Structure 1
Amino acid sequence: MKNNLVLQTDFGLGDGAVSAMYGVAISVDPTLRIFDLTHDIPQYNIWEGSYRLFQTVSYWPENTVFVSVVDPGVGSDRRSIVAKTKENQYIITPDNGTLTHIDDEVGLEEVRVIDETINRLPRSGESYTFHGRDVYVYTAARLASRLISFEEVGPEIPVHSVVKLIKPKAQIQDHLITGHIDILDIRFGNLWTNIDRTLFKQLQVQHGDALEVTIHNDTRQVYKNIMTYGRSFADSRLGEPLIYVNSLDKMGIAINQGSFAKAYHIQTGANWQITFRKFN
């Protein structure tokens, strides 16, 4: 049985780039099952590409092959790699930090550098700006269709040598949890933090409890308010903010039927800090 092939890029669908990647994969094996994770990663945003993989990968069967192309360094000396996760999926990507969340949250079992002398689209050797088509999806299709084994991708490299982005850890001290806003639930404008539910529970809170929530962008306070910890959006009135557990078992912030991110001009990343304080 063939394995699934899942594609993620920052290319968008406004031109033929993604279609070309599909064409290469189908040319390798017309029976491949190809799916899109997303092609709407903001341009050059490696952090978001890393997070969307973490959001998705664990829900796919073993041996699924992912291609993630968010590659501002295309044509440079950055490595092109294939990583095998501890859950037995494969991710093909530039070695530029895209594997940060997967390494931390899922774990990497083994990593190999793509040998482009054998794993590159024929007659593409003079092209240096579309590795997603010429190297990544071509290698991925061959791996997913079992025309090559993982060992035939190229030489193994140490897992610890893979490039990682700065990823702060959430902390708890004196009834105060400090974390960061990792990503947005884009369509609805909810804030997804890096604070695990299990860490949050150390505040000894129950559904219905009120907490003080503060958001800083670097040293500038952007938001401060009291809000309720709810089981779901039904636990708040229309337009009210609430704290909830998101689909990745981490803490989220939302406005019931509104966009928290738009309302308060919130963005994401290591410089966006959020704190939860329980009242004694």
Structure 2
Amino acid sequence: MKRNLVLQTDFGISDGAVSAMYGVANTVDPEIRIFDLTHDIPQYNIWEGSYRLYQTVNYWPEGTVFVSVVDPGVGTSRLSIVVRTAANQYIVTPDNGTLTHIKQDIGIVEARIIDENVNRLPNSGESYTFHGRDVYAYTGARLAANVISFEEVGPKVGVDNIIELTRPKAYLEGEVVFGNIDILDIRFGNLWTNIGRELFIESGVEYGDSLEVTIENNTHQVYKNIMTYGRSFADSHLGEPLLYVNSLDNLGVAINQGSFAKAYHIETGANWKITIRKISRLISN
């Protein structure tokens, strides 16, 4: 049975790059089912590529093949690999940190280096700037169509050697929770943190509690205010901030029908820190 092929890139769709990847995959086997994860990863943003895989992979059937191309090091000595996850999915990607979240949160059981003597688009010449088409889409399609087995991708490489990006961990001190702004819910401007729901609950909070939220960029305070922890956006008034649990079971920060990120110029990454402490419940007349 053929597997699904899911594509993710930072190419955008304003030119023919993604279409070329589709064409290569269809040339391998026109019956392959091809889907887009996203092609709107910010250019060269390996961290976001890693996170979007983590956000998506578990919701696809076992055996699905993902091709992720966010590759600022294309043409360099960085490896091109295919991994098999603990959930028996396959990811075709440069080994540049794109697998950070998958490795740490889902697990990788085996990795193989793509043998370009076998798994490279025929007649693709001496181009070393479009591996997304010539190597990754081609290899991913061959794997999805069962033209090659996982073992035929190429030689094994140690899972421990797969490159990981720096990824801070959330933690609890007393009743205060410390974390980072991992990513944005881009369409709506909500902040998605690395604070898991279970860790947050350990601090003793309950729905309806008021909490002081502080956001810093390095040591510069960007935001400080009191907001409510709610089940949904209905637990706040229009334009009010709130804390909620997002679709990945992590804590989110939002403005009801507004963009928190735009309102306060919040970005993401290891330098963007969030602190949450419980205060006495606010009572309004």
Could you say whether these structures have the same fold, taking a TM-score greater than 0.5 normalized by the shorter chain as the test?
A: yes
Number of equivalenced pairs:
280
Measured after TM superposition, the shift of residue 68 of structure 1 is 0.3
> Equivalent residues in 2 for 1:58-207 (5 A)?
58-207=58-207
Aligned counterparts of 2:214 and 2:47: Cα–Cα separation in 1? 23
Aligned counterparts of 2:154 and 2:194: Cα–Cα separation in 1? 34
Aligned counterparts of 2:201 and 2:174: Cα–Cα separation in 1? 14
**Can you list the C-alpha shifts for 1:234-258, whole angstroms capped at 9, x where unaligned?**
0000000000000000000000000
2:7 corresponds in structure 1 to 7
**Can you list the C-alpha shifts for 1:210-259, whole angstroms capped at 9, x where unaligned?**
01100000010000001000000000000000000000000000000000
2:266 corresponds in structure 1 to 266
Measured after TM superposition, the shift of residue 125 of structure 1 is 3.8
Aligned counterparts of 2:222 and 2:105: Cα–Cα separation in 1? 29
**Can you list the C-alpha shifts for 1:34-65, whole angstroms capped at 9, x where unaligned?**
00000000000000000000000000000000
Letter in 2 for 1:155: P
TM-score between both structures, scaled by the size of structure 1: 0.99
Measured after TM superposition, the shift of residue 97 of structure 1 is 0.2
**Can you list the C-alpha shifts for 1:182-206, whole angstroms capped at 9, x where unaligned?**
0000000000000000000001111
RMSD: 0.6
2:18 corresponds in structure 1 to 18
The unaligned stretches of length 5 or more in structure 2 are: 281-285
Measured after TM superposition, the shift of residue 122 of structure 1 is 0.3
Measured after TM superposition, the shift of residue 95 of structure 1 is 0.3
Matched position secondary structure for 1:269: coil
2:283 corresponds in structure 1 to none
Aligned counterparts of 2:158 and 2:87: Cα–Cα separation in 1? 18
The unaligned stretches of length 5 or more in structure 1 are: none
Matched position secondary structure for 1:270: coil
TM-score between both structures, scaled by the size of structure 2: 0.97
| Contact 2:174/2:203 (8 A) holds in 1 | no
Letter in 1 for 2:228: T
> Equivalent residues in 2 for 1:234-249 (5 A)?
234-249=234-249
Aligned counterparts of 2:279 and 2:185: Cα–Cα separation in 1? 28
